[in-house]
Amino acid sequence: MQAGIAVAAPNPALIFETLLAHQRSAALRTAIELNVFGAIGEGPADAATLAARCSVSVRGIRILCDFLTIMGLLSKQDGVYSHTPTSALFLDPHSPASLHSTARFLSLAEMRTTYDNLTEIVRTGRTVLPGEGSVEPDNPIWVEFAHSMAPMMAPMAGPLGAIVLEGRTSPMRVLDIAAGHGLFGIEIAKQNPRAHIVALDWARVLDVAEANARQAGVADRYQRLPGSAFEEDYGGPYDAALLTNFLHHFDAPTCVGLLRKVHAALKPGGISATLEFVPNEDRVTPPMAAGFSLTMLISTAAGDAYTFRELEAMHLEAGFRRIQAHPIPNSPHTVVTGIAG
Amino acid sequence: MQAGIAVAAPNPALIFETLLAHQRSAALRTAIELNVFGAIGEGPADAATLAARCSVSVRGIRILCDFLTIMGLLSKQDGVYSHTPTSALFLDPHSPASLHSTARFLSLAEMRTTYDNLTEIVRTGRTVLPGEGSVEPDNPIWVEFAHSMAPMMAPMAGPLGAIVLEGRTSPMRVLDIAAGHGLFGIEIAKQNPRAHIVALDWARVLDVAEANARQAGVADRYQRLPGSAFEEDYGGPYDAALLTNFLHHFDAPTCVGLLRKVHAALKPGGISATLEFVPNEDRVTPPMAAGFSLTMLISTAAGDAYTFRELEAMHLEAGFRRIQAHPIPNSPHTVVTGIAG
């Protein structure tokens, strides 16, 4: 028995809740599709009023809003529904922090239906998607990702920039590998007005990153490098390289190979910064970082949510030193840095 | 602001967890399909050992078992997985309290895929299933229900029997409407050796109930009444009528009509006992009883999880008096009784 951990009594409710957990995802998807959170944003209202605002049935909206309330995504008082702090900030489409696009990405049918094959995937140990799964060349899902996941990733950009720059304002060249929406490289360019960014990703994904760079006013210091992170010549040498949300798609030897290539493109003393879901060594805490490995099982041939010890070993094998973990507060993400040389 | 309720800080993790909640259902379904809990029952084991026992990949079983551990459905210590009290009692197929068959019923693809239509269902306010949805005549799902849900309902039978009988051991006739697996009527027959049960349900469902009555040794006091609860002549008069997990499928006027018919079949002073998910009047607590209304939205034309006040009003309108709620401890169910007269 593990010391200090109370043994819970047998709890059949946990099993029913787990079997029916898919209802929770469906209810939130539907509420977003029907603009329920926008309708609540017009002011607290009862079911009949909301039904009119959303052009849906009273029975349907009442049961849906009760379910959202049970989940903590709405509040209900005397039959009147209103926002919770969470729904006001992250689900009202008028909020600047709205996660609507992220929710749509995470709800894409092609991502959800893969779970119907989970039994087969556990048998074989790899995605049922063809080839390398989600990391097949030019997979259009990454264009969608670049468009949709920026709101989820935006809060991580500031801290990552600060970790990489440590206040540096001198000229520097930064390679942003698998740039996606580009927010991380763009943040470096914003924090250091003398930083030049080279962004690598599939060409159609870079269109999204470049548009974001223009909007952020850093387009004149933003350069495209379209293609595969494994095949393109990185150029260089660079002062810093970003490797965000990328290593988890591959097995450890592939990660080491890629980190070697990054190492070769960095100046001596240059910094590599990976952003990852990094579970504790027990692989079952904290829940969000540890649970991410299931997404990698579903969508890749050999990816994983790597622990710090595993990431450290990969970096060391690739020639990096001073490997450090920087957990980002209030997020499931950790920045792991290593110094070239 | 509601007095006494702390306002939680905005929590984006709640939104990601909700969007990904369907992973939880998929992971448990797969674990049951692959007999993971049976394999753990052979003794605590690491991923490689479990992979061999279940004939699956090491990567797949490790990530699946980590996910089950995160959900509290397995325990992990130094890389070795073992049962939690909950999984040992309710998920190990060798346990007499195993909920495997219930889990299979709740995981049926035809039940899950209905949630893909939730947006349309909220718009129209009714199931997308044809006709009356799950309560169409002779729907084969109720044969499956009778086979599968007995383990979930068995713990409710003893308390319900005690509430109906109040220690009575004199001869009595009991009508069990929508008998299903038959466990409730059978329990009455077991608690009172002079009780005779008349079980009403579709003929193929009654085959299951009758087999259970034989197994319980009460077949000689068990009579079939095949057909529709709305159309068959109940016979009678009866000392007690059971109406378990049935009213929630219908709108209030239909429930009142049915309760009138039950009332007419009871002797003066006879007792009606319904078993229901009964949420509090706020309709959002407790979570399991309140959340059941979503299942009724999905699967019926006009059903609901009714509050006690609503059930009381229906019973009074049908002629019952002394309407009482008897919550069953440690369960989401409540028995509501009324006296004819």
Average pLDDT, chain B: 93
**Collapsed DSSP state (helix, strand, coil) of residue B19:** helix
Backbone angles phi, psi at A233, to 5 degrees: -75, 125
H or E, element range at A16: helix A12-19
What pTM does this model have? 0.92
DSSP string, A301-336: SS-----HHHHHHHHHHTT-EEEEEEEPTTSSEEEE
Terminal-to-terminal C-alpha distance of chain B: 46
Look up the ipTM and state it.
Answer: 0.93
Tokens linked to A199:
């962004």
Q: How far apart are CA A198 and CA A177, in angstroms?
A: 8
Q: Where do the DSSP E strands lie in chain A? A: 75-77, 80-82, 172-177, 195-201, 222-226, 238-244, 266-277, 321-327, 333-339
Contact B57 A122 (CB under 8 A): yes
Tokens linked to B45:
């084991």
Tokens linked to A63:
């049961």
> Is any Cβ of chain B less than 8 angstroms from the Cβ of A328?
no
User: Between residues 18 and 47 of chain B, which touch chain A (CB distance below 8 Å)?
Assistant: 18-30, 33-34
The answer to whether the CB of A286 falls within 8 A of the CB of A280 is: yes
Q: What is the CA radius of gyration of chain B?
A: 22
Backbone angles phi, psi at A67, to 5 degrees: -65, -40
Please, is A131 exposed, middle or buried when counting C-beta atoms within 10 Å of its C-beta (0-12, 13-18, 19+)? Answer: exposed
> Is any Cβ of chain B less than 8 angstroms from the Cβ of A70?
yes
| Residues paired with residue A326 on neighbouring β-strands, in sequence order | A335
Q: How far apart are CA A336 and CA A324, in angstroms?
A: 6
The answer to whether the CB of B248 falls within 8 A of the CB of B295 is: no
- Give the gap in angstroms from C-alpha A335 to the nearest C-alpha of chain B: 19
Tokens linked to B129:
């299933």
Q: Cβ of A49: how many Cβ atoms within 10 Å?
A: 17
The answer to whether the CB of A315 falls within 8 A of the CB of A323 is: yes
Q: How far apart are CA B11 and CA B29, in angstroms?
A: 28
CB-based contacts of A97, cutoff 8 Å, min separation 6? A89, A90, A151
Query: In A218-286, where does DSSP find H-type helix?
Result: 252-265
Contact B29 A15 (CB under 8 A): no
Q: What is the pLDDT along chain A (341 residues), one digit of tens a residue?
A: 333 344 568 888 999 999 999 999 999 999 999 999 999 999 999 999 999 999 999 999 999 999 999 999 999 999 999 999 999 999 999 999 999 888 888 888 777 888 999 999 999 999 888 777 777 777 888 888 888 888 888 889 999 999 999 999 999 999 999 999 999 999 999 999 999 999 999 999 999 999 999 999 999 999 999 999 999 999 989 999 999 999 999 999 999 999 999 999 999 999 999 999 999 999 999 999 999 999 999 999 999 999 999 999 999 999 999 999 999 988 899 999 999 98
Contact A70 B16 (CB under 8 A): no
Backbone angles phi, psi at B44, to 5 degrees: -55, 145
Q: How far apart are CA A118 and CA B26, in angstroms?
A: 7
- Candidates B124, B284, B285, B306: best to mutate against A (most CBs of A within 10 A) is B284
pLDDT per position as a tens digit, B261-302: 999 999 999 999 999 999 999 999 999 999 999 999 999 999
